[in-house]
Amino acid sequence: MKILAEYLDMNRGTVALREDQEVKIVSAYGMSEEEIKRGRYKLGEGIIGKVARHGSPIVVPNIVNEPYFLNKTGARNRIKKGGDIAFLCVPIKFKSEVLGVLSVDKTLGQKGKSFEEDLRLLKIIASLIAHSIKLNQQLELERQTFNEEKEELRQQLRGRYHVQNLIGNSDKMQEVFEAIHRVAPSKANVLLMGESGTGKELVAKAIHYMSQRAKGPFVKFNCASIPEGLLESELFGHEKGAFTGATSLRKGRFELAHGGTIFLDEIGDLPLTLQPKLLRVLQEREFERVGGQKSIKVDVRLLAATSRDLEKLVSEGLFREDLYYRLNVIPIFLPSLRDRREDIPILIEHFLRRFNKENKKETTLSKDALSLLTSYEWPGNVRELENTIERLVVMAKGKTIETEDLPLGIREQYLKSKYKGFNREALPMTIEEIEKTRIISALQHCGWVQSRASRMLGITPRQMGYKIKKYNIETKNEDAQ
């Protein structure tokens, strides 16, 4: 507007943009803030309103003689008597869409002067403004869409990792849920303990997304997944040239987690050489990058997890005692799956529903198969159960998963517990020999009644007959069938 004032020798100029059924001055030259605020017109109201409605330029040779010139802003009240003012107004159009109005008023140097040259220039400038406005509108729309999608994703993540979506009705899991509710709003460090596969990362995410840091980053790092020589750089970053291969500055996980939460999994595997630096971060909230001298302040909440006995590591001198107490402010123990067997059917139902949906199937478990899965020890806990159900759904030939479809390890454990009192033989080396030996043991235990033996093995009588024939097993007391 300043450049335009110099080129056209104008007194005042405005850019007014359309907002629904109104036109509002958004930028001006030669007007006060108060005058700009008063510059609002309904469509069709005054010269600016008419240009905004019809999309055609209007030239007023002298505003003193023009009844449609409303002077709403009051900017022309300061015009001296005898000062003739011309008013030029052109639409800001993008294709056929009127986005606003560009207006200029200038002192008439001589009567009868032609405004064609000024009008042509204003139309060119209005066209440039229109393209700029349209581009900004598009960028604003994309920004709003991005923010909406980001918020929607955040809500999905919040819902996905909300404590209510952690599955379990057992008393032990209810204790875990209560602990999460209590600790999430605080700033305290949390130590999650339990066997591998019990869901420690899921609990950490639930704590983060239920906390006041939910809008901040959640950065996870497994201390056992990186060689010791690279751990310090991964956690705290490095400066350019700090070591061979450090071609640029790199931020570490703590720096990336600023304003949010960092989750350090398998903290018991952190080398002793790095433990003092971690302790300093927890105490002073600052650190230096590898090869750097400048201290970096961070605002980070630490959640740590371990499947190892940290107290034992402390007693063996493999873990710093002061760091252990810093980490163990709020301990939460996650029970193994075998210690909450009442949750297994619920988890199985959840995973079945999920993997059926992913694979577009309608697979179910037979009663006997569910019984075997519930009685299994699950050394890999929930993670092993999840992987097993996915494999069963993907590989299922029919709609019902039977006991013979279950992994061999699960069936073996079941057979060992069932035949503990009557199968004294050492396990053969091949699967066929295992199966043959256990069929014979079951038949002997059941008095050679095939129907009873098949129920004990979790198979159908038809399958039992097939396997007897397959292994050439000589049956006895067949009349008792």
Pair of tokens at residue 344: 């297994």
pLDDT of residue 154: 67
pLDDT of residue 428: 42
Query: pLDDT for 251-274, tens place per residue?
Result: 999 999 999 999 999 999 999 999
Selected from 3.40.50.1110, 3.30.450.40, 3.40.50.2300, 3.30.56.10, the CATH number assigned to the domain covering 2-137 reads 3.30.450.40
241/394: higher pLDDT: 394
Instruction: Note the pTM of the prediction, 2 decimals.
Output: 0.57
202/429: higher pLDDT: 202
CATH of region 338-410: 1.10.8.60
Query: pLDDT for 168-224, tens place per residue?
Result: 888 899 899 999 999 999 999 999 999 999 999 999 999 999 999 999 999 999 998
pLDDT of residue 474: 83
Which residue spans of the chain are classified as CATH 1.10.10.60?
426-480
CATH of region 426-480: 1.10.10.60
Torsion of CA 413, 417, 423, 425, to 10 degrees: 40
Is the pLDDT at 42 greater than 70? The verdict is yes
CATH 3.90.25.10 assigned to domain 163-239+250-335? The reply is no
Dist. CA 340–CA 167, nearest whole Å: 11
Which residue spans of the chain are classified as CATH 1.10.8.60?
338-410
74/45: higher pLDDT: 45
| Residue 66 amino acid letter | E
Query: pLDDT for 435-475, tens place per residue?
Result: 788 888 888 878 888 888 888 787 888 888 888 888 888 87
Pair of tokens at residue 135: 């581009």
Pair of tokens at residue 394: 């993907």
pLDDT of residue 481: 40
Mean pLDDT of the chain: 86
Dist. CA 215–CA 221, nearest whole Å: 19
Query: pLDDT for 370-416, tens place per residue?
Result: 989 998 999 999 999 999 999 999 999 889 999 888 988 888 877 76
